[in-house]
Structure 1
Amino acid sequence: MVPKLLVADDERDIVSFIKEGFLDEGYSVLTAYDGHQAIEMAKQQPDLILLDVMMPGPDGYEVCQAIRDIVSCPIVFLSARHAETDRIHGLAVGGDDYLVKPFSLRELKARVHAHLRREARVRSLPDKSLLQFGSLSISIQDREVTIKNQPVSMTPKEFDIVRLLAMHPGQVFSKEQIYDKIWGIEAHGDISTVAEHIKNIRAKLSSHDPEAQWISTVWGVGYKWER
């Protein structure tokens, strides 16, 4: 199948630059030039979204939050903002990656390819039906987490982390191991994103069951799923 890419940026030169680069590789490319267009185009279910942070209308962060209930594909933020707080916020609202402008087309393609390869590997994994841990259930096939029969909203990467840890209860994974397995060794991001994703996962799980603890920190080592 031809990968479908959505490029949302108010700088038309950047959109054209990216679009031409990926059309040359056989991609189908959707485009949007403001936040409202980006939300509308996301309904076409692209395989990956490149999302500018500073756009007219809803900004990239607001767009990401608005579409996370309708798309499960990777979202890569594009931004001139390079502060750590900006990257962390992008991940907190549901982004999977954050690329600082200016960037080379070669690096952008490498990241897009890495995310799509990762998504393909996840989809090809054999199903192990349902994982049950007390009030928490994980449907591997449907990529759903429920607590007390109530769905827990998760981004694709958050679910992948939960699935990885829950399929190996009691096993400790370092941040580096989690990053390599979820983002892939080809990725060029920051492993600090793992801690931010774990923080978000814990907050979501706790909001449904404050008394339970499923992910433990093994200080100086990493994280593990409680049996």
Structure 2
Amino acid sequence: MKKRTILVVDDEYDIRNMLKNYLEMNNYDVLTAKNSKEAFEIILSGKIDLVLLDIMMPGMDGIEFCKMVREKINCPIIFLSAKNLEEDIIKALSIGGDDYITKPFSLKELLARIESHIRREERIRTTENLTIRSGNIVLDVLSKEVFCKGNRLDLTRKEYEVLEFLMMNKNIVFSRERIFDNVWGFDSNSNLEAVTEVIKNIRKKIKEYDHQYSYIQTVYGLGYKWEVRNED
């Protein structure tokens, strides 16, 4: 797997140097810039996978810089700032930032956030413009929309996520536990009955438009699977 490149933009040398050393120890290539001008030149000259961006810099601050570079790059931008007021965080995220970490910060937490954003970008690239078709169902991964015979299904977030999970793994039987873990997460406070309820709702919404096929099959004693069966 190729190394990812991170750009660190901060006017304090000690912070730039600390982050560069730490991230290189964790298998990242790191470029640094002490101001927006240097950072912009680096962005124009090569591929950057993620930007760590200080807000309070001389000249153009991090907020204005983020606005400008969003026209050039789509990679995650994580703000690093001593400002911790809610309005500062909201402003930073609303103009194109993907995350916001206040100084002083834990290097381990920062690394975890970086890796989370890198993984998310990889998933987006993998599924970008991906459309899944099965029977009369069309699922658009990018827009998170599902259509049945041309009719958009009005799904809740969890209904969509369960449907996407099953469609992406068609003909594979999953227990309620596996579905729950993949959609709600191991640390969720929900319960397994939520899986049963969501699947019941998905079936009902599909049935409004499609009486030709059944899609989510119950495998008694084992769980559920996505398999298109003609009901005629």
TM-score of Structure 1 vs Structure 2, range by shorter chain? 0.5 to 0.7
**120-129 vs 37-46, which moves further:** 120-129
* Sequence identity (%): 41
Q: Gaps (5+ residues) in structure 1?
A: 131-138, 141-159, 178-183, 186-227
Alignment of 1:92-103 (within 5 A): 92-103=94-105
RMSD: 2.6
> Matched residue pairs, number?
148
Three-state SS of the structure 2 residue aligned to 1:49 is strand
Mapped partners of 1:39, 1:126: distance in 2: 27
User: Paired residue for 1:11?
Assistant: 12
Mapped partners of 2:116, 2:146: distance in 1: 23
Per-residue deviation, 1:167: 4.7
Alignment of 1:137-148 (within 5 A): none
Residue deviations 1:154-198 (CA, integer Å, cap 9, x gap) = xxxxxx6xx23x357521238xx8xxxxxx97xxxxxxxxxxxxx
Per-residue deviation, 1:57: 1.4
Give the TM-score normalised by the residue count of structure 1.
Answer: 0.59
Residue deviations 1:29-80 (CA, integer Å, cap 9, x gap) = 1100012112222222310000000011110001101101110100000000
User: Paired residue for 2:120?
Assistant: 118
Which AA in structure 2 matches 1:100? Answer: T
Which AA in structure 1 matches 2:155? Answer: Q
Mapped partners of 1:50, 1:89: distance in 2: 17
Deviant stretches of 4+, over 4 Å = none
Alignment of 1:76-91 (within 5 A): 76-91=78-93
Per-residue deviation, 1:87: 0.6
**Larger RCO, structures 1/2 (Cα 8 Å, 6+ apart):** 1
Q: Gaps (5+ residues) in structure 2?
A: 133-139, 148-152, 162-183, 186-232
Mapped partners of 2:28, 2:51: distance in 1: 13
Higher CA-based Rg: 2
Give the TM-score normalised by the residue count of structure 2.
Answer: 0.58
